[in-house]
Structure 1
Amino acid sequence: MKKVVFVLAAAGLMSLAACSKQTPAENATDATANALDNAGENLEDLADNASTDAAAASLDNAADNAHDAADAVEDNKQ
């Protein structure tokens, strides 16, 4: 009886462990989205320190595009 309970508990724990693992493609997708978000944050910081309004607007647009690209990568994650 103890062996049966042990085997069932081990099988349950193994199935839980298998559910949380990501594939290498999912890891790469997450890394890409994070990199794009980080680039967007850096562009926003540059926009805050820009010397002209036109440069700040251009950097803000680039930051928005980077954030949108990160969102698109996450949305297409398989």
Structure 2
Amino acid sequence: MNNNAATRLNKFISESGLCSRREADRFIEKGNVFINGKRAKIGDQVFAGDKVMVNGHNIEPKEESNFIL
């Protein structure tokens, strides 16, 4: 994740490989997602350094891969 840019929470969760964006929205709606210890809501943004937890598990973003063709 770019250090300055924010990412929508559902995209962040889906890019971690946990689930799809729609499934991430369901986790958020059910109150199972926290950002830095606070219950998240639909549309929240994640910044570099934020701690995201889904169902009690810490979610880490996947590292970007650079491919050279």
Give the number of the structure whose residues are more often helix, by fraction.
1
Structure 1 or 2, whichever has the larger Rg, is 1
TM-score bracket relative to the smaller structure: under 0.3
Q: TM-score, normalization: structure 2?
A: 0.22
Give the number of the structure whose residues are more often strand, by fraction.
2
